[in-house]
């Protein structure tokens, strides 16, 4: 039974199903570092390879070992093409490897219905398509999602527009882009709200956003937020600049 749950954990990590991952880890004695007997991949290897930032973060918080190597010698940080994931895994200077698996897992060969459509997760067969690199395959789309974002409860009520590549949509990517544009630190963020009243929590929520959706970043210290003006500047600083 444990082996079945461990395989389900690797499958969920591969397709980015964070809710199933939470259920498996929190309600069973599943070993988060269990390795596939054929290729040596763990759930963290799969989450990194498929660029699921929020899954990687959750697995690390629940004991995933970033130093485990596959049977061909790769650590998780060598499998991702996302810089933020490399940073989480402590491998910012490592080179992403193109990995041809010795087997094709059933959850890639026969994905469940929500993953048969061309969403962020791509088939591992992309690794067989020279000369396109995995990173180019992941983020080469010219299509962008345009959202309108502002800091909640700020004196500055105007939105700014930010763009995210539709091939790279994830909660972590949304949070990173919004914080960069608004001059915030991720540690300041309490929650992300899709107006008027819906919380964005995971990658699936982000993929449901439409162009020009209004989004608010809610900070942890509301009293401080209410005194802020233009994207992190106090109104006194803003007035000094303008006048």
Q: Is 203 helix (H, G, I), strand (E, B) or coil?
A: helix
Q: What pLDDT shows up at residue 101?
A: 53
Low-confidence residues in the chain, pLDDT < 70: 1, 92-142, 222-243
Q: What pLDDT shows up at residue 98?
A: 56
Q: CA of 31: how far to CAs of 18, 59, 88, 107, in Å?
A: 16, 11, 21, 19
Q: What pLDDT shows up at residue 99?
A: 54
Q: What pLDDT shows up at residue 105?
A: 59
pLDDT cut 90: percent of the chain above it = 53
- Residue 58 exposed, middle or buried by CB count within 10 Å (0-12, 13-18, 19+): buried
Residue 79: CB atoms within 10 A of its CB come to 27
Q: What pLDDT shows up at residue 3?
A: 85
Q: What is the CATH number of domain 144-232?
A: 3.10.20.10
Q: What pLDDT shows up at residue 57?
A: 93
pTM over 0.85: no
- Superfamily per CATH, domain 2-138: Ankyrin repeat-containing domain (1.25.40.20)
Q: Are strands 160-165 and 144-151 parallel, antiparallel or unpaired?
A: antiparallel
What residue spans define the domains of the chain? Answer: 2-138, 144-232
């Amino acid at each position: 039974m444990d082996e079945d749950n461990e395989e389900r954990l690797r499958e969920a990590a591969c397709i980015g199903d964070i809710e199933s991952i939470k259920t498996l880890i929190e309600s069973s004695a599943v070993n988060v570092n269990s390795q596939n007997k054929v290729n040596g991949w763990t759930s963290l290897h799969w989450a990194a390879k498929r660029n699921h930032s929020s899954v990687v973060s959750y697995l690390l918080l629940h004991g995933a070992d970033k130093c485990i190597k596959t049977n061909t010698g790769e650590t998780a940080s060598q499998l991702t093409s996302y810089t933020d994931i490399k940073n989480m895994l402590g491998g910012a200077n490592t080179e992403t490897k193109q990995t041809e698996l010795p087997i094709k897992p059933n959850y890639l060969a026969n994905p469940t219905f929500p993953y048969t459509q061309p969403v962020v997760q791509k088939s591992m067969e992309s690794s067989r398509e020279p000369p396109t690199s995995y990173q180019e395959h992941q983020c080469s789309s010219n299509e962008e999602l345009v959202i309108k974002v502002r800091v909640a409860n700020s004196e500055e009520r105007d939105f700014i527009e930010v763009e995210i590549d539709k091939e790279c949509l994830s909660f972590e990517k949304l949070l990173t882009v919004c914080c960069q544009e608004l001059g915030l630190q991720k540690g300041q963020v309490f929650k992300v709200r899709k107006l008027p009243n819906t919380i964005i929590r995971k990658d699936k929520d982000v993929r449901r956003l439409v162009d020009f959706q209004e989004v608010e970043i809610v900070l942890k210290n509301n009293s401080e937020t209410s005194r802020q003006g233009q994207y992190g500047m106090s109104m006194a600083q803003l007035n000094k600049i303008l006048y």
